[in-house]
């Protein structure tokens, strides 16, 4: 694929690393590529970051036809830059496209777009511990018609955002509450696709939780409202009597790449991991008796974030004295070590950018 390049004539100023936050700042350039049913994907280009124009009738604005990905570029100690398992993101993007009825992209082209864009804006990759360049590929329908059938115009875009910790307080444990009214997804719905619509469905509960002082919602399955699903932007893991338990991928849970990597790491250490249904009753019973030794969220943005407090209606338990536990700490250290290139990469997860 040939990518044209239009240099930004007014490059931005790098923010201080402690002011980064998450997703607030964007780099000098972005990648765009258009799709039409007659020409397929065409006009791959890197251009100055800025507004995009689209028809007010565009499919994405009315029918939510949008999917996205999230990955990070990490600064290595030797000054180089690398990605973590980007091939997984490209494969998942296409699975999400299939579910939402958007055109797939060639996975190699998608990766090339990311690599060339990160190289163009390499100076924006921060190096402080806990910081990275967050990469947001997304793909949406630009169909200029209110008709529902088929997608004959779409755009694939990539934007970059230098970011610090996802949660304000870094590795400090977060409080999460079980959501009992709203549901995020149902089997057969779009829960396992990484699409904007899932987030729209989650907004109300997220806002309500934030008002009550919780950092996250813990979703239950949409049918029985009995089984724990995920954090709605991150997957969850629990250490119960020495065994790590994580909700199985039933179709309504997003198959996280961090989740998959943690499972692979844990098994390589000989830790037993069960991917199964876990009911909220079982979880809170384990919390009550102390069998629940550790709980943590996993995701690209949050990495490994310990859960210090778990609430469900009037029931509320503190986990591991509201401190990060030994296994979540070990996972965090190993994963971030591989991602940043301070530890060996025995699984071949790393992809060098430069
Ligand atoms: C992206 C996402 C995750 C985490 O997936 P990773 O590949 O680990 O970043 C979990 N849940 C939802 C709903 C997500 O959108």
| The model's pTM | 0.97
Residue nearest to atom 14 of ligand 1 (CA): 233
pLDDT one-digit tens code per residue, 102-152? 999 999 999 999 999 999 999 999 999 899 999 999 999 999 999 988 889
Residue nearest to atom 9 of ligand 1 (CA): 300
Q: Which helix (H) or strand (E) holds 272?
A: none
Instruction: Report residue 81 as tokens.
Output: 């830059």
Residue nearest to atom 6 of ligand 1 (CA): 256
Instruction: Report residue 63 as tokens.
Output: 């029918």
The pLDDT value recorded for residue 302 is 87
pLDDT one-digit tens code per residue, 295-346? 999 999 989 999 999 999 999 999 999 999 999 999 999 999 999 999 999 9
Residues of the chain with pLDDT > 90: what percent? Answer: 95
The pLDDT value recorded for residue 150 is 83
**Under 8 Å CB-to-CB from 86, ≥6 apart: which residues?**
71, 111, 114, 351
Nearest-angstrom CA–CA distance, 137 and 68: 6
Pairing of strands 350-352, 315-318: unpaired
Nearest-angstrom CA–CA distance, 337 and 345: 9
Residue nearest to atom 15 of ligand 1 (CA): 233
Nearest-angstrom CA–CA distance, 215 and 221: 20
Indicate which atom in ligand 1 lies nearest the CA of residue 234: 10
Query: Residue 234: CB within 6 Å of ligand 1?
Result: yes
Residue 80 in contact with residue 353, Cβ under 8 Å?
yes
Query: Residue 230: CB within 6 Å of ligand 1?
Result: yes
pLDDT one-digit tens code per residue, 141-174? 999 999 988 889 999 999 999 999 777 666 889 9
Query: Residue 256: CB within 6 Å of ligand 1?
Result: yes
Residue 141 in contact with residue 154, Cβ under 8 Å?
yes
Residue 232 in contact with residue 200, Cβ under 8 Å?
no
DSSP codes joined into one string, 145-193: SS--S---EEEEEEEEEEE--SSTTTTS-EEEEE--S-----TTTTTTS
Give, in degrees to the nearest 5, the angle at Cα 240 between 223 and 323.
105
Average pLDDT, the chain: 96
Helix axes 326-340, 257-268, angle to 10 degrees: 110
Instruction: Report residue 349 as tokens.
Output: 């997860």
Query: Residue 194: CB within 6 Å of ligand 1?
Result: yes
Pocket test for ligand 1, best of 93, 234, 251 (most atoms within 8 A of CB): 234
Indicate which atom in ligand 1 lies nearest the CA of residue 88: 7
CA of 234 to the centre of ligand 1 (A): 5
Residue 59 in contact with residue 65, Cβ under 8 Å?
yes
Determine how many CB atoms are found less than 10 A away from the CB of residue 262.
26
């Amino acid at each position: 694929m040939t990518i044209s390049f239009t240099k930004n004539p007014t490059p931005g100023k790098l923010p201080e690393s402690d002011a980064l936050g998450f997703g607030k700042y964007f780099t000098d350039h972005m990648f765009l590529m258009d799709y039409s049913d007659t020409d397929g994907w065409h006009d791959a280009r890197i251009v100055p970051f800025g507004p995009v124009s689209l028809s007010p009738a565009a499919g994405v604005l009315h029918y939510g036809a949008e999917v996205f990905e999230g990955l990070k570029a990490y600064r290595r100690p030797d000054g180089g830059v690398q990605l973590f398992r980007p091939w997984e993101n490209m494969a998942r993007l296409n699975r999400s496209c299939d579910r939402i009825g958007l055109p797939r992209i060639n996975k190699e082209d998608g990766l090339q777009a990311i690599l060339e864009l990160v190289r163009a804006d390499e100076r924006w990759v921060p190096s402080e511990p806990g910081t990275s360049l967050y990469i947001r590929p997304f793909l949406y329908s630009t169909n200029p018609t209110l008709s529902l059938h088929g997608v004959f115009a779409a755009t694939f875009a990539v934007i970059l955002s230098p970011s610090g910790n996802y949660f304000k307080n870094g590795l400090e444990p977060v409080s999460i509450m079980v959501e009992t009214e709203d549901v995020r997804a149902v089997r057969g719905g779009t829960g396992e696709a990484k699409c904007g619509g899932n987030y729209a469905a989650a907004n109300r509960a997220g806002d309500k939780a934030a008002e009550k002082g919780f950092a996250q919602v813990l979703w239950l399955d949409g049918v029985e409202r009995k089984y724990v699903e995920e954090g709605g932007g991150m997957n969850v893991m629990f250490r119960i009597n020495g065994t790590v338990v994580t909700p199985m991928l039933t179709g309504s849970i997003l198959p996280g790449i961090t989740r998959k990597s943690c499972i692979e790491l844990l098994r390589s250490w000989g830790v037993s991991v069960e991917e199964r249904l876990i009911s909220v009753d079982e979880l809170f019973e384990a919390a009550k008796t102390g069998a629940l030794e550790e709980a943590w969220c996993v995701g690209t943005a949050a990495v490994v974030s310990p859960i210090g407090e778990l609430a469900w209606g009037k029931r509320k338990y503190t986990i591991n004295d509201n401190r990060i536990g030994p296994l979540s700490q070990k996972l965090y250290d190993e994963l971030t070590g591989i991602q940043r290139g301070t530890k060996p990469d025995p699984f071949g997860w790393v992809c060098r950018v430069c």
